[in-house]
Each structure stands twice: as C-alpha cells, then as structure tokens.
Amino acid sequence: MNFIRRAGIYLIRKKGRTLLMLCLLLFMSLFVLVGISFLKSAQSELDRLRLSMASGFVLEVNTENELYREHISFEKGGGASIYTGPMISREMIEKICSIDGVKDYIAELFGYCLWTDLKLRPGMWADTQPIPDDPYITEEALELARHEVGISSCRNGAEQKYFRTGALTIVEGRNIEEEDQYKAVISDWIAKQNRLSVGDTVTLETKEGIYQFSDDPLKTLGEPIKVEIVGVFHANFSQESSPYTAENGLIENYIYTDMDTYYKQRENRQQKNGGGSTPDEYDKVEFLVEDPKELDSIMRQVESREDLDFENMELVVDDMDFMASAKPYSRIRIFAMLLFAVGLGGLGMILFFLMRLWMYGRRNEVAILRSVGMKKREILGQMLTECLFVSAAAIVTALFLSGPVLHQCASMAERAAAPNPDQEKYQVTLSVYHTPEITKTSSDEVILAHTVSKEAALFAVLFVCGVSAVSVILSSAHLNGLTPKQAASL
C-alpha cells in the first residue's frame, strides 16, 4: 500500500482530528484572504488619494514676517502694513520645473478684489450704516465694500486645490483652462441670485477705494474688465459668516478667472500708482511631481540648488487634506495587518503545536511502520499528504466562502470608518488677506473592494500549504530521527 492511500485511510479513520485541522486551516485561509484583500484595497485608495491630494510640494513666502513689512500712512489719517520682501519669481519657477520628476506647477493669485454690480451674499457691510464725520465709513465706501468680490486667478482651474479636494465642484459648464482669456467661473449662489448662466458676461472694475483711501472710492481705474462665464461651481460645505466676515471673504462671492484677467487689473492699478509686485511674482506656488513616492527626494534636490534663493520662503508638503481623507484607510490597513498577523502568527503557532502534539501521539504508529521496513521519506510523505489534503479542502472552502465573508467585512468596515454625517467635511478660516482658506477635516465616503483578487488567492494557497508543510516537517523531525526501538519506547 503506497503512502498516498494510507494518508487517505488515516484521515477517514481520524474524523475528529481531520475536522479540527480542517477548521483551523479554514480560519487561517479566511484570515489571510480577508487581510490581504483589505490591505490591498486600502493601499490602492491611499495611492489614489496621494496622487490627487499629496502629489507635490508648496513654496510659500512668509508675508507675515515683520522684517519685510512696511507701514504706509494715508494723507487723511490711518495707514496700512504691506509686504515688501522677496517673492517667488518666474525664473525660480522655471528652475524648479527643470528638475527631473517635477511635471507642472500651480501658480494662483489670491488676495485681490474687484468690484461688480452683482447681488452678493450679504456680509458684515450689508447692514452697516455710514458714520457721520468718519472719512472711512461713508456711503460710497460701504457701497464699494458691499460689491467687492474675491478674485482667484489661476492657469488651470481643475488643478486648483479646492477643486482637487472636492471642496468645490463644477455643476455647470467647465473650469478655467490655460489658454483662456477673460473667462470666469462663478458660484451657483451668485448665478441664481443674478439669473446668470454659462455664456453670460460679467463686468469687473478696479476701484480706487479697494487699494487705498480715497475721497472717491468708487472711481474706476483703467478700463472695466468684461469676463465671460464659462462655468458655475458649488461649495460642498457651509461657511458660517461672523459679524466680522466681509462680503469678499465668503466663498459664494468668489470668482475664479484666468491669468489675463489678473494682468489687466494689475495694469489698471499701475495706471494710478504703479505699485505692487510684477505680474510674474507670486507668494505661493504648488509644484506637482510625477511620482509621489519620490517627493522627499525631489524636495531635497530643490533645497540643495545653490542657484535658488529661498530667503523668507518655506518649502513644505501640503498634506493636511490628504491626511484627513486617508485617516480611515490608514485604520483599515492597520486592521488588515492585524488580521494577517493573526492568520500568520497566531493560527500558525497553534497549527505547529497541534501538529507536534499529534506527531507525539503517533509514536507507536511510526514505530510499527519503521519496524516493517518503511523508509523515513515514505512516513514523511504520508504525513505531508494528509496535511496537504486537508489544506486543499480548507483552501477550496475558504475561496468559496471568502466572497460573502469579505463583502460583509468590507460593508462593516465602511460603516465603521464612515465620516460623521453631522460633521462638516471642510473647515473655513480667513487668511491674512481676509480670503477664505478651506481645509479638509473629514474623509469622503469610504469605499473598499468587495471581491478577492487573484493575487490574494494565490498568496493564500502558497501560504497555507507552506505553513502546513513546514509544521509537519518540523513536528515529525524528532520521530523520524529515532530508531524503531527508540520510537516504541517513548
């Protein structure tokens, strides 16, 4: 009788032992399959988020550094503090973009406002009344403030951070594109209140009172700028307005435009006072990289460039939004590694000690087989065959059950890691320029794969069969090394 047939007879005779081993290997297989599937799914989502949210680094000027701020006084009293220090130049941008791995940059211009004769979401100036004998709070100054819109000019609106992170979504038309000239994207709030849609035109004006104290704050500098609406955006959050939030600090009153619109308003300003930075200088530029895994290496190359002067500038990874979105997937990945560790370590150790106990209990059987002339490799072959038969049955059963089990586990994990519906996904604060800064504070809906991948199934087969075989070999080694007389005397 060959060892394969003997293995089959042994498994049939020892039904309780066979069933116990089958259950143990079944649980091991399921833990490994579910753990690997969770781990792969969570990692895939983390990679996707990293590409969209943590795909670059930011070079930003510290405009609040008092060493580079200058106080200017107005003729009729009062004054303002302006930044006069180093800025990010076009030359710096081109040098950084020339480094291998840097694929593009996002230069965005915040902190300036234009006037428009549109109905805006009311802010702090809506109900403010003029103060007699106050040169600043006049009816003309209030009329100006009530119609100031925050402007953000960019090369590519789709790459703008708030659109990438989902804080803002285009609901009609399209976003700003690099070749656009005098185009605009407005909020759905402004569009609805003013009965505007894609294709309509909005007039923006550079008013003297926006930039300096004036006896005639509504005086138009240069030529009015007519922009065509190419898109309408929706804010996926609610911005609470305090008594100190001006109209131009509300996201609904923001207008995204192309770079030509920015250049035109700069030209209008320079006709009056020639002040301010040149159109090719920025206080914040985001650089995108081809491979996020190389981000640290690329940043080190940028910092080591001797031909780049980063005086009063900071090079950072802007990963706050990524960390907020990645938090549930990071927890799921830890849970997946625990499942895998239980399958690998816990059940593996139990299997080994159980095998060792069973091998010790089979000492008389080994003695008889050795006494009738059976070779060591035939005895080991029988034990391996027994274990592999049970392992194969366990793996087939696990693969059959893994689909429903993984579906239930994934659904439970998605519900457990889902963001609180009562919590705002985004937090809005006002910058030094009184513009809204949007930070993601909560993840989006958590989505995991509900099917077992081929790679996970293949790994489970190799892992379970390998662990079973190694357990048998190690557990039977001390018996196969004994003589028949020694094995019988144990």
Among 357, 343, 365, CA closest to 474: 357
> Which residues, listed in sequence order, are joined to residue 150 by a DSSP beta bridge?
113, 254
Reduced to 3 DSSP states, what percent helix, strand and coil does the chain have, rounded to the nearest 5? 50, 20, 30
- The answer to whether 357 touches 474, Cβ cutoff 8 Å, is no
Round to whole Å and give the CA distance between 290 and 93: 16
Query: 2 burial class (0-12, 13-18, 19+ CB within 10 angstroms)?
Result: exposed
CA 255 – CA 234 distance, rounded (Å): 12
Tokens of 197: 């849609």
Q: What is the 3-state secondary structure (H, E, C) of 6-68?
A: HHHHHHHHCHHHHHHHHHHHHHHHHHHHHHHHHHHHHHHHHHHHHHHHCCEEEEEECCCCHHH
Radius of gyration of the chain (CA): 35
CB 266 within 8 A of CB 225: no
pLDDT for residue 277: 46
Q: What is the DSSP string of 90-119?
A: HHHHHHHHTSTTEEEEEEEEEEEEEE-SS-
Distance CA 150, CA 113 (A): 5
Residue 48 amino acid letter? R
The pLDDT assigned to 255 comes to: 94
Give the tokens for residue 274: 């020639």
- From start to end of 155-259, where are the E strands? 168-173, 183-187, 201-207, 220-235, 254-257
Distance from C-alpha of 23 to C-alpha of 351, rounded to nearest angstrom: 11
Q: Which two tokens stand for residue 288?
A: 């995108």
Backbone angles phi, psi at 346, to 5 degrees: -60, -60
Nearest Cα neighbor of 166 from 329, 323, 321 is: 321
The Cβ of residue 382 has, within 10 Å, a number of other Cβ atoms equal to 23
Write out the chain's pLDDT in tens, 490 residues. Answer: 566 777 677 677 777 778 888 888 888 788 778 777 777 777 777 777 766 665 688 898 888 888 888 876 656 555 566 778 898 988 999 999 999 988 888 876 765 789 999 999 998 888 888 888 777 788 888 889 899 998 888 888 888 888 888 889 999 999 999 899 999 999 999 999 999 999 999 999 998 888 777 788 888 888 999 999 999 999 988 888 777 888 888 999 999 999 899 889 888 887 655 444 445 788 888 888 887 778 888 999 999 998 899 999 998 887 666 666 767 777 777 777 776 777 667 666 777 777 777 766 666 666 666 676 677 777 777 777 877 888 888 888 888 887 787 777 777 776 766 666 666 677 787 776 677 887 777 666 676 766 777 777 888 788 778 877 777 777 666 655 555 555 555 5
For residue 451, what pLDDT is reported?
Answer: 73
- In the chain, the N- to C-terminal Cα span, in Å, equals 26
pLDDT score recorded for residue 251: 92
CB under 8 Å to 489, separation ≥6 — which residues?
none
